[in-house]
Amino acid sequence: MRPDGEAAHYRALESLYEHAPINRFFDSRLAIEAGGVARIHFTIDERHFHAGGAAHGTSYFKMLDDAAFYACNSLVTDRFLLTTQFNILLTRPLRAGPVTAEGRWISGRRRVLVADARLIDGAGEEAARGTGTFMRSRIPLADLPGYRR
């Protein structure tokens, strides 16, 4: 059975995430179960480490930004959003293992949307959190390779 309505949009966003070239560098999977909420399940390994033996900040930013972004874009069915600002608080080092990025829409629906996100390590501890703003672009979602409804 093919999903329709909101579910079709969520599956199309998951496909868009899967087809983004940047995600070839990460063992990750996006799941959108409801509007305004997105989770990315991913694995940190030594390829993501800085010289001190833990995940480099680029991994934190990418996953926090993506989770917050997709939480917001789950509420926007016609246009691709763009990150305009993102603040991060790093609270624990991420070592090798599973991590979940949880994004949640906070406010805005017209031109600018706001969301927060957090990273939870395999032990259930929060490793980072962030808040971002996202604005509607002129890019139609339907025109993007990977967005399949």
User: Phi and psi at residue 66, in whole multiples of 5°?
Assistant: -60, -45
- Strands of the sheet containing 126-140, edge to edge, are 27-34, 37-44, 97-107, 112-121, 126-140, 79-90
Phi, psi of 105 (to 5 degrees): -65, 140
As a whole number of angstroms, the distance between CA 74 and CA 33 comes to 10
Tell me what pLDDT residue 107 has.
98
Residue 146 has pLDDT above 50, yes or no: yes
Residue with tokens 């939480």: 71
**Percentage, residues of the chain above pLDDT 90:** 95
Per the CB < 8 A criterion, the answer to whether 147 and 16 are in contact is: yes
pTM, rounded to two decimals: 0.95
Place 132 in a pLDDT band, splitting at 50, 70 and 90.
very high
What is the rounded CA–CA span in Å between residue 57 and residue 50?
8
| pLDDT interval class at 1 (50, 70, 90) | very low
Q: Which domains does the chain have, with CATH numbers?
A: 5-143 (3.10.129.10)
Q: Could you report the per-residue pLDDT of 60-79, keeping only the tens digit for each? A: 999 999 999 999 999 999 99
